[in-house]
Amino acid sequence: MSTAIAIVGAAGRMGRMLVDAVEHDAAAHLAAAVDRAGGEAVGRDAGELAGRGRLGVTVGDDPAAAAAAGDVVIDFSLPEATEAVAAACAAAGRPLVLGTTGLGEAQRSAVAGLAERTAVVHAANYSTGVTLLTALVEQAARAIGAHSDVEVIEAHHRHKVDAPSGTALRLGEAVADTLGRDLAECAVYGREGRTGERDRETIGFETIRAGDIVGEHTVLFAGDGERVELTHKASSRGTFAAGAVRAAHWAAAQPPGLYDMRDVLGLGG
Ligand SMILES: NC(=O)C1=CN([C@@H]2O[C@H](COP(=O)(O)OP(=O)(O)OC[C@H]3O[C@@H](n4cnc5c(N)ncnc54)[C@H](O)[C@@H]3O)[C@@H](O)[C@H]2O)C=CC1
Ligand SMILES: O=C(O)C1=N[C@H](C(=O)O)C[C@H](O)C1
């Protein structure tokens, strides 16, 4: 059986990659495509936008119609779309694979509410490599985190609108949780001026925005006389799209709940 997939944010960098990934997957097909109301993509063919030629799926602006048409919804758009997409998935009883980063409290709460009714996979990064990196970072934090200065460094393309990246925040959270710290209290975002000496309990974040960098993350554990750096570099958005489509197949068979990419890959907690 082929999984019918509805894509929100279909005209974006990730949306176009997702259309391509779905159409490359013999076990899936594109059922609906949605983008921003009033945007120039609405009314165009989603396949043509993705450079794949005509697919016969017109980009719409109604998440409710898209959710009803698909077995699963994949949303990589903007936080402004999240609450409407969650409501559409709840009304249609459809699982959601959410890749959008930079969510605020209201959007997180909408996602948590949806997860009581359907399966929701929410990951800041759908690549297998970053899922592994997160596990390795937890291992490093357990071994040397309490005696190290921990810094998270990320680099992305010039078009990215949120900072630090969702992945960087997730990596920082993984360190904080492992060390029994509260990230909201120990995070330091960039430094400037007369900062004073570094407090070992803090977790620092540095952001680079430049050119067409797809996505790079390093977690640095620095002590006296040595340091450990764990790095992941994505060289194609195809890796995120492939992971999201894999998550969509997986989510279609899950009971309600909030999951992440570790669950999808069967790596446990
Ligand atoms: N979880 C992951 O693995 C990854 C997550 N991302 C995240 O995905 C999101 C999208 O990234 P890009 O594709 O690079 O951005 P983009 O700006 O190229 O695409 C976003 C698309 O969403 C559309 N959009 C905006 N408001 C909308 C609304 N209310 N309803 C429907 N569509 C709407 C825009 O018109 C645009 O076509 C970002 O939050 C980014 O951080 C990106 C790559 C990987
Ligand atoms: O906006 C992007 O491009 C990316 N966003 C995600 C994030 O914020 O972590 C994941 C990936 O690094 C690409």
Per-residue pLDDT of the chain (269 residues; tens, 9 = 90+): 899 999 999 999 999 999 999 999 999 999 999 999 999 999 999 999 999 999 999 999 999 999 999 999 999 999 999 999 999 999 999 999 999 999 999 999 999 999 999 999 999 999 999 999 999 999 999 999 999 999 999 999 999 999 999 999 999 999 999 999 999 999 999 999 999 999 999 999 999 999 999 999 999 999 999 999 999 999 999 999 999 999 999 999 999 999 999 999 998 76
Query: What's the confidence (pLDDT) of residue 1?
Result: 84
User: Of the candidates 223, 205, 206, 259, which has an alpha carbon nearest to the alpha carbon of residue 140?
Assistant: 223
Report how far residue 177's alpha carbon sits from residue 141's, in angstroms, rounded to the nearest whole number.
9
Determine the pLDDT at residue 205: 98
At 267 the pLDDT is 87
Ligand 2 atom 10, closest CA = 125
Q: Which residue's CA is the nearest one to ligand 2's atom 12?
A: 215
Active-site option among 24, 122, 159, 160? 160
Ligand nearest the Cα atom of residue 212:
2
What's the residue count for the chain?
269
Question: How much distance in Å is there from the Cα of 44 to the middle of ligand 2?
Answer: 26
CB distance 14 to ligand 1 below 6 Å: yes
Minimum-distance ligand to the CA of 123?
1
The identity of residue 189, as a single letter, is Y
DSSP 12: S
11 labeled binding residue: yes
Contacts of residue 45, defined as CB under 8 A and 6 or more positions apart, other chains included, come to 54, 55, 56, 57, 58, 59
Does the annotation place 13 within a ligand binding site?
yes
Residue 162 DSSP symbol: S
Atom of ligand 2 minimally distant from the CA of 234? 12
Q: What is the pTM of this model?
A: 0.98
- Is 160 assigned a catalytic role? yes
Query: 18, 20, 35: which to mutate for ligand 1, most atoms within 8 A of CB?
Result: 35
Q: What is the pLDDT of residue 151?
A: 98
13 lines ligand 1 (CB under 6 A): yes
Torsion of the alpha carbons at 124, 211, 183 and 228, rounded to the nearest 10? 100
The helix or strand, by DSSP H or E, that contains position 94, with its residue range, turns out to be none
CA angle 38, 39, 43 (to 5 degrees): 90
pLDDT, position 268: 73
Strand partners, 120: 96, 258
Q: Strand, coil or helix: what is 91?
A: helix
